[in-house]
Structure 1
């Protein structure tokens, strides 16, 4: 009996497993909403993979023709129609999905498997509804063809017993056949489990408690971004202060600090941080009224755990890095709120907007070696961060936490 080539066998089973995964994931995405962002990116990546594998399958079929049909009549005609339909589905489903993403009013970039950028197709936005509907309809058609194809294989193997299935099994091995058959529903189960995990692991971000009553301009108090990042070095900026106790120390931030931020997006927390910043810090912990603090943040260093979202952060919808590459926080004379605890009200300039901002922090240690930890809450809408269609589900307050070690030096 003639058999398919090993290449055709590999492509056949790989595409079957990927399709099963796609169907399970695709039906879950709409109900997941923003919680399914990462899964949505994976769904797009697997779709383009299926498109690529299908094109290879077509080329393989051209250069290595398939075995002759085993039966004629209406059964043979139906088998050919199902095969043709499956090829059409495997080509059109990814293409309509690609077109749907390209014409969506929310221009979310696509990074295949988080690494390879996929450009948007040059199609009119008005066609989005057509591609959206077509993509959903094709999913149901593909499922029906999938079932018919499996039913045909079962008929040949169990009813006709003509050994037709062996043409697509390497080495005519029963163990290999069973393993391959099991892998297909396993792909479907894996897709369903990933969707369930996306739903269950979603946890709303928590905003730090306010340190003081809210000030005018509807800006959250206890708000400040004072990031501490790896390898950051404080820039010396000695402020001359006349104090009977002497001038305050100038502090240098040590490597190994960390700044983190978290914000709720439709029921799940998006977390990330900044990796580059500099600061001028002058302060006597026993006389906080002597303090002068200035922090400059390179907002292009912002990142989250998802590479696609990282691509979006520098754009005008979020940080607008091209026009506003830095955020600056300044504050003087923080107030002691308890033993080694302080609140400093200052001003934050972010994305070209300057507004009142505050920071809460605590000190540990003694002398000229201190550990600093703090919290803040940024009213992102005040600064126009997250001002587009893709930001509608993001909470208005961004929680910030930071920690770093600092070494002081008497001027």
Structure 2
């Protein structure tokens, strides 16, 4: 009996296994929310792989001779229709998925397996619903066609016993007859296996105040009163009744290389942590007379990174930092208050995405003479600045914890 070419056989079983994986994962993506972000990227990558393999399969179909049809009549017509439908599914599902991503309100970049960038299709935004509905419909049609295809193969092999199934095997081997179809089951099971485990219901526990945050590192954890709440500042401040007058103008400090401004936000039970690679700080302050402080920090918002190429591509967009219209964020404070030995609080103004709001930072100073180590933190209500205003931000916590650590030298 004439067989399909080895290339066609390989592509047939490889595409079948990948489609089983795609269906297995795709069913769960909507329910995973933010926890499914990495799986969504994998789903896109495999979808484009299926598209490329299918195009190759079409080319091979016309390049290599195919076995002749064994059955005519309505049964043969139905088999041909199922084959045509499967090709339409294998091409249409990835294309509608690509269109869906391209027309989404939040432009999530597509990197094939985290490496090769895939541009968005130049489609109008109002075609998003059509792409989304088409993708879902094709998935269900694909499942139905797949079941019909399997039923037809079993009919020929078990009832008609015409050996048709051997045409899609590289050799007439019972081991291959079991092993190759098993790839489809393996693909489906693999898709289910990589899904995140359901989250257990949170146990009752004592809750920290809204403005409590984790220290950036062990050194910060050891710093006294590094995150002293504002309400406790007056109680814990132990300033003498009469303050010594400053001997002269407050010193200016220069931030040394190697400092860090980081941020952490809850995301549907997980934590997203990142940092800003580019920022500057102009600091004037006499630690013994904190009311002399004059602080200005400027952050290049395009330098934000969370260590994930997909998410980093989203941060500059309008849903988050809106870098095109507002490339920088600034914090300005005039004066600070001592809240304990070596610890301070500065209340000023944060300007982010063109919105200015009052903001308080807390920090500690260690060291002496001309070099001081600065550790501090703040808690920012992101909604007040319009950060995280789209569909993909639904799982984000309302508070963003910001930490900073750097060394400054007195001029």
TM-score (structure 2 length as normaliser):
0.78
Give the one of 247, 264, 267 matched to 2:266: 264
Question: Would the alpha carbon gap of residues 274 and 72 (structure 1) be closer, same or farther in structure 2, given more than 3 Å must change?
Answer: same
Question: Would the alpha carbon gap of residues 350 and 153 (structure 1) be closer, same or farther in structure 2, given more than 3 Å must change?
Answer: same
Residue by residue over 1:49-97, the C-alpha shift from the partner in whole angstroms, topping out at 9 and shown as x without a partner, is 2222212211110111322234445554443332222112112222333
RMSD after superposition = 3.3
Q: For 1:159-198, what aligned pairs fall within 5 Å after superposition?
A: 162-172=162-172, 178-197=178-197
Q: For 1:7-406, what aligned pairs fall within 5 Å after superposition?
A: 7-72=7-72, 75-114=75-114, 115-123=116-124, 125=126, 127-157=127-157, 162-172=162-172, 178-197=178-197, 200=199, 208-209=211-212, 211-212=229-230, 243-244=246-247, 247-248=250-251, 250-255=253-258, 257-404=259-406, 406=407
Question: Would the alpha carbon gap of residues 202 and 181 (structure 1) be closer, same or farther in structure 2, given more than 3 Å must change?
Answer: farther
Helix, strand or coil at the partner of 2:41 = helix
Helix, strand or coil at the partner of 1:195 = coil
Question: Would the alpha carbon gap of residues 95 and 252 (structure 1) be closer, same or farther in structure 2, given more than 3 Å must change?
Answer: closer
Residue 163 of structure 1 deviates from its aligned partner by 4.5
Residue by residue over 1:113-162, the C-alpha shift from the partner in whole angstroms, topping out at 9 and shown as x without a partner, is 3441332342461x544443332232222112222323444454556555
Helix, strand or coil at the partner of 1:278 = strand
The range that moved more, 62-71 or 107-116, is: 107-116
Query: Quick one: distance in 1 between partners of 2:318 and 2:89?
Result: 38
Residue by residue over 1:316-354, the C-alpha shift from the partner in whole angstroms, topping out at 9 and shown as x without a partner, is 333222332221212243222233322211222222232
- Structure 1 residue runs of 5 or longer lacking an equivalent are 214-241
Helix, strand or coil at the partner of 2:195 = helix
Question: Would the alpha carbon gap of residues 271 and 154 (structure 1) be closer, same or farther in structure 2, given more than 3 Å must change?
Answer: farther
Q: Is the 8 A contact 1:207 1:399 kept in 2?
A: no
Residue by residue over 1:31-55, the C-alpha shift from the partner in whole angstroms, topping out at 9 and shown as x without a partner, is 1233323322332332222222212
Helix, strand or coil at the partner of 1:396 = strand
Query: Quick one: distance in 2 between partners of 1:367 and 1:139?
Result: 68
Q: Is the 8 A contact 1:51 1:94 kept in 2?
A: yes
Q: Number of aligned residue pairs: give it.
A: 377
Q: Is the 8 A contact 1:202 1:268 kept in 2?
A: no
The range that moved more, 40-49 or 10-19, is: 40-49
Query: Quick one: distance in 1 between partners of 2:266 and 2:201?
Result: 9
Residue 250 of structure 1 deviates from its aligned partner by 2.2
Query: Quick one: distance in 1 between partners of 2:325 and 2:47?
Result: 36
Residue by residue over 1:227-284, the C-alpha shift from the partner in whole angstroms, topping out at 9 and shown as x without a partner, is xxxxxxxxxxxxxxx82288546243332x3332222345543332211111223444
Q: Is the 8 A contact 2:301 2:328 kept in 1?
A: yes
Query: Quick one: distance in 2 between partners of 1:32 and 1:373?
Result: 36
Query: Quick one: distance in 2 between partners of 1:407 and 1:129?
Result: 53
Query: Quick one: distance in 1 between partners of 2:154 and 2:365?
Result: 71
Q: Is the 8 A contact 1:86 1:142 kept in 2?
A: yes
TM-score (structure 1 length as normaliser):
0.78
Residue 297 of structure 1 deviates from its aligned partner by 0.8
Helix, strand or coil at the partner of 2:326 = coil
Query: Quick one: distance in 1 between partners of 2:337 and 2:186?
Result: 60
2:239 corresponding residue in structure 1: none
Residue 360 of structure 1 deviates from its aligned partner by 1.5
